[in-house]
Amino acid sequence: MDTSRVFHHFYEISKIPRGSGNEKGISNYLVNFAKVHGLEVIQDEYYNVLIRKKATKGYEKYKSICLQGHMDMVCEKDENKVFDFKKDPIEIIIQDGYLTANGTTLGADNGISVAICMAILESDKIKHPDLEILLTTDEEVGMVGAKGFDITNLESNILVNIDSEEYGCIYVSSAGSSMVKSSKTFNAQKIEKDVYEVKIDGLFGGHSGVDIHLNTANASMLLAELMLKLANVAEVNILDFNGGTKDNTIPRSAKIVFSTDMEYKELEKLLNVFLDSLRYRYIKAEKNILMSISKLKDIEYTLMLNKEDSKNLLNYLMNMPNGVLKMSDNSKDLVESSSNMGIVYTEEINGKKLINTHNAIRSLKIEYQDYVAECIKEYAKSFGFDAIVKKSYNPWEYKEKSEIRDYFSQIFENQVGYKPRILKMHAGLETGLFAEKNDKLDIISIGPDIKNPHTPSEKMSIEAVEQTYVYLVSALENYNIVK
């Protein structure tokens, strides 16, 4: 089967900026694509796009099916990469059987879903029942598009999400998520000593759902621990602490600006000794922990925290509940609940310092999700932080009976000769929101192999894309679920 049009469309949409919150351009592109091909299309106020294509002759008796994905992508880049996600096209590279990008995220999550759907829609050779394509916006920053989508516009009661990242698997459940924002205002004083910047970089990072079980280092927490060791032997006054860029991404880098009376050489020596002990702890998960130290001459800051507040802040960041918090009681090697301190940032307002943290909480069960959110809030309050839940969506919970799951399992087995794996996912999918809005929906999630999503190391298997496309087309052409 010719899969060239899938890759053609993926390359084309990769030229269009589509970071979360910036999807108007790609949304309009998809609307125009539908109109050019004479298809019914609805674009809502959130820039979600719903496209309908009538059944092939002879397939009118079968139930309508919806293929679903999201058009936005996570925008992450290497530290030294010069790139503007609001205007620059993604630079795609073919490497060892994979598509990857030059120093940025690839956007395979979830651009490949868009590309597959476009290839199916434009074909006059693929047989199918009544078909709906739903492509949503802002999935990566709180599933805004899916939350806003009017589910009554969807005619299908069968939905195939194409946003999982392992070929040969059918996902039947996914985690819900809440984001807890914590903030505290500190009194500040004038800077009186030398000012330094210390930066931690080169960490693996990764998706806070898919990769949380790998026990990689959180750059902000690692830096806080490093600096607390220093603060125990010298006076440290924090001017600025920043780490991470996305709630749902494990921080790869973090930096602190601080004042101390310690000389540069002694400071460098001590920090390297402290870092060596931390490197040993992460010897299996992190191969490239980097640290840079520089003495600042031109200082943009005017105020700093006192010694006591600086140590308390470092303690708060270092000991934040983070990573895997509970494993599933029912599924082997599946994370039940987790927390990721994705962002730390500092603001200077009216002569004071405001420290903010964002924690992305995930769980397969709503009761655990709420419990962990409350635990994070109580932890923050114990250090004098104000904490609130800013964004939340429920888990997609497993259903015992699923007609579409059984059908896709059989199609896969017919194609490759063995059964697919039926799995639950600790990452979040929009499917939970759709199921909550319409409990009659029969839902599964599939997709090709995508490695290291949400990082500049993201890559997608070319072979797995081809296999996924053949799998999906075969499912449409052999469709036998009657109305």
| Judgement on whether residues 145 and 201 belong to the same structural domain of the protein | no
| Judgement on whether residues 95 and 168 belong to the same structural domain of the protein | yes
| Judgement on whether residues 375 and 403 belong to the same structural domain of the protein | no
Average pLDDT, the chain: 96
pLDDT bucket at 405, cuts 50 / 70 / 90: very high
Closest CA to 102 of 87, 89, 91: 91
Catalytic residue ranges: 72, 139
SS (H, E, C) 262-277: CCHHHHHHHHHHHHHH
CA distance 119 to 104: 25
pLDDT computed for residue 298 by the predictor: 84
3-state helix, strand, coil in the chain (%, to 5): 30, 30, 40
Q: How many CB atoms lie within 10 A of CB 422?
A: 15
Confidence check: pLDDT of 332 > 90:
no
| Judgement on whether residues 40 and 169 belong to the same structural domain of the protein | yes
Identify the domain containing residue 326 by its residue range: 177-393
pLDDT computed for residue 170 by the predictor: 98
**CATH number of the CATH domain containing 46:** 3.40.630.10
Look at the chain and report how many structural domains it folds into. 2
Q: Which of 350, 374, 393 is the last residue of a domain?
A: 393
Within-domain flag for 170: yes
pLDDT digits (tens, 9 = 90+) for 118-156: 999 999 999 999 999 999 999 998 899 999 999 999 999
Q: Which of 345, 378, 393 is the last residue of a domain?
A: 393
Please report which residue ranges of 351-398 form alpha helices under DSSP H: 366-382
As a whole number, mean pLDDT of residues 203-209 equals 92
pTM: 0.85
251 contacts 219 by C-beta, under 8 angstroms: yes
| Judgement on whether residues 235 and 383 belong to the same structural domain of the protein | yes
| Judgement on whether residues 369 and 220 belong to the same structural domain of the protein | yes
Within-domain flag for 483: no
What tokens were used for 108? 């395979």
Dmax (CA) for the chain in angstroms is 81
| Judgement on whether residues 59 and 15 belong to the same structural domain of the protein | yes
Distant-in-sequence contacts of 328-331, Cβ < 8 A, 24+ apart: 328/364, 328/424, 331/424
| Judgement on whether residues 440 and 348 belong to the same structural domain of the protein | no
Give the whole-number percent of the chain exceeding pLDDT 90: 92
Q: How far is CA 264 from CA 260, 270, 294, in A?
A: 10, 10, 8
| Judgement on whether residues 386 and 427 belong to the same structural domain of the protein | no
Q: Which of 358, 393, 428 is the last residue of a domain?
A: 393
What tokens were used for 274? 């402290």
Within-domain flag for 132: yes
| Judgement on whether residues 44 and 166 belong to the same structural domain of the protein | yes
| Judgement on whether residues 214 and 333 belong to the same structural domain of the protein | yes
pLDDT bucket at 410, cuts 50 / 70 / 90: very high
